Each structure stands twice: as structure tokens, then as C-alpha cells.
Structure 1
Amino acid sequence: MTITTSLPGRVAPLRVLHAARRPALVLVAHGSHDPAAAAEIGLLHARVRRARPELDVRLAHLGLNDPRLPEVLDGLSGRVVLVPLLLGRGYHSKTDIPRTLAEAGHLAGQCAAPLGPDPLLTEALADRLAAAGWWGEPVVLAASGSRDPEAALDSEAQAALLSARLGVTVRPGYVAAGGPSVAARVAELTAEGHTRVAVASYFTAPGDFARLATAAGGALISAPLGDHPLLARLVLERYQACLARTVRAVA
């Protein structure tokens, strides 16, 4: 089986390793008190499993929902690849997830890069905006935010990708940490003379962050990325990139 892609800048086609040697794929979600978030991540998990039925694909959470990541890792053996369902660098992707994997000493594993920024997310965001009725307005990319400066760089890079794709101004705004806030970005663009401002939900699932973005005053807001087919494709690309690094290391 060969994985291919038509978008520029993607990982080159790779011959998938023999089934007996394929590591398990663990989707690592943040977790949420909102049942809608768990349902949406469950749909994404199911989509990835349908796309690669020969893989052992598990879903784990960092908190708030079960099963938790340590529990899932305890139930695995051999090799494993952890793919964070996170949209940028930060504490979870740089420290928390790798540490949890290291503590599972019985496994040989790798942690994939976060999902964002990435051209596939650009297309998914554009789809969500179109479904919400976007028609040329400037956009605020509503992200969760982080105290890690690299997370802000990742959000800014994704905003630049979306701006190039849509041909309009796209500026990142944040709902939790960092700044400026989504509401401040909406006000900023309005003050510049735009009568309508759209908000793109740069979240993997519904929940408190998405509700805060909805309340920020945009003329329209798109749905979170959720169970978008391109998100499942990106998860598998991150998995495949880890396998490619393993092959290069052995060669």
C-alpha cells in the first residue's frame, strides 16, 4: 500500500511497512467536559480507523475524559506512534506527551508533531468558513492560545496560510492565553472599516474555547475542525512521517 498526496510540500509517497511491523497509532486528545467534544473526537477516531483498517488505532486523552493516555499505553506492546490532536507547539506536545510515553518503559515509541500549522488545515478551515456562509470578509483565526511563544508562531503561520488561500486579511486571536483576544481582533478589523468580520474556529472540537470564540462578536463563525476528512488525512500523514524518520534512521 502506498500513501500519496496531491498538495505541494507534502511528505513524499512512502511504501507502508509490512503489517506485522506497523506500530500502533494513538490519537492523543486534550479532553473536555463537553460531551459534544468527546463525540466529535470519537467520530474522527472512527474515520481514521476506516481509512487504515490494518492499523491498531487507539484514542487517548490527556485529561477530563477516559481512557487516559497512561492507561492506553499500558494496554499496548511493541512500537507505537502518538499523534497529538493539538494545533501547535506547547507544553502538552513538547513535554507532557513525550514524558508520558517515556514513562511507559515497555514501549518503543515516537511522538509526532502537532497538527498545525499545515496546508491541509488551511483547506479544512476554508471549508468550515464556506459552510458558515463566508463571502469575502476578513477573518479572525480563533485559537486557544498558550504561554509558549512557539504556539503563537504556529497560529500566526496558520493565519498566513489561510490568508493566502482566501485572499483576505486573516489575523490570529486567542481565547485563553496570550493575546490579542478574538474580541479585540474583531474590534480592530471593524475599526479599520470592515463592516463584517468572520471568525474561524481553530479548534479540534466543540467546547468552552469554541463558545468563547462565538461570543467574540464576529458576523459569522465557522464550526470547529472536528471530524473533517482532511483532519483524518493529516493525522495519518503525521503517523507516516514518523515511520519515514524511523526508516531513515535505520538506513
Structure 2
Amino acid sequence: MRRFAYEPEMVALDGRCFQMSSPARRDNNRASRSQQVCVDAFKIARHEVTFSQYDLFARATGRDAPDDEGWGREHRPVINVSWEDATAYAAWLTELTGRSYRLPTEAEWEYAARAGTETTRFWGNAPNEACIYANVHDQVSRRENGLSSPHHACDDGYATTAPVGRFKPNAWGLHDMLGNVWEWTCSVYGGEFDGIEQRCASAGHAGFRSIRGGAWHSGPRHIASAARSGALPNKMFGGLGFRVVED
């Protein structure tokens, strides 16, 4: 089936089992843990959804265009979009193209981000190599934004979001899996992995959703394949976007 110019470029990934990091135990044992999780074959967008792609959806459906914070639109990742907005975009793309788009599960997201690695980050364990591979909280964002939180001792050239694809991809050709913007997943955010990381939440579920990958304002702690956080489905801010997968 022919692909349309407004569709994201997709990368096909084989299904397999991998070691997925597990949340810290509730007994305050923070030792690194992992468990084997299996995913089926799927396709994932090479880049985060951009303003150009999302603005087309907003115009077509009569939605308000999200605020770009004055940082620019076009090929920058869309920001200030909720989980509800992101799932609506995927549903619109599905209806328009006849292909099945959605947000990734948390397990699919980590599998794609790791690209076969078991290190802290897909490029290895060194946080200060981040500026080759990711747009992060670094020397320039510390200087220009006045952020005092721990930063990467490198300079990626961007104080806020960067156009997608400006940094080296992981081994599977996926750009910005770490940094630039946090990415919505379709999974409920929970304190334990009990299968929820492998399925999508129902639209009416009121709980937090898992977000992954860190953002332009994230220090070394959150620029890691295992780093995770949660946000309510209606939450939106200038460091949160998404990418889609295709079944």
C-alpha cells in the first residue's frame, strides 16, 4: 500500500524477547533489576512526530494548534500535547491511511530504544557522550536557561528542542529515542511490571500513563533507556511529545 507524504517514516523491528529494566523495589532496594519481556514484531517511527505532521491533523480536525513556546515549528518535535491528543492523532492517521497506528507500549518503547543493548544508554554507559546522540540538559541549556539541576558535561548546541534527526541514531536507525522530548506510551504507569507494560490502557482509564526517554532539559538520571516517569492523560508541557508505532 502506498505511503503518503504526511505519514511518519517507519522502521520495521522483529519481535523477540529482551531484558527490560524493572522498577525499583518498594523495600528501598535500588539495585538494578531486569526481567525478560517479549514483544511481537512492529514498526516504529524513525522520528518523533513533528509540528508539521501534527499541525496538518489539527487543521483537518479543527483542533487548536499546540503552543511551540516560541522555539519554532516545522521539523521540531510537537510539544504541549496530551496523551489524549496523541492517541487522537494516531486514530486520525489510521482512518486516513488504512494502516493501524497507535502509541507504543512501554515494553515496545524500551525495546526500540535499547536497540539490542543492555547498557545504561544505547551508546553505552558514559553520560557525557550524550551530546553526540541526544538533545539533553547540557552546558548550553544550563547557561541559557539557568537550570541548576545536574547536567551533562558536553554541548549539543540546543538550549530547547532540536529539529528531529539532528543527532546520531541508535543501532536500529531510530533518532532521539533519548532526549529532545519525553514520549508518551500507551501503557499505564505502575510501580511494578506485571504485564501492564505490554499493553495499552483503555481510553477511559484515569491513571497515569508512562512517559519515556527524557527531554532537552533532562540530566543524566533521566537520559537512560530504563528511565521512566508518569503523567496524567491530560498533561501537556514543553518537554513532552510522542512517536507512533504501526502494527
TM-score of Structure 1 vs Structure 2, range by shorter chain: under 0.3
Q: TM-score, normalised by structure 1?
A: 0.23
Q: TM-score, normalised by structure 2?
A: 0.24
Structure with the bigger RCO (C-alpha within 8 Å, sep 6+) is 2
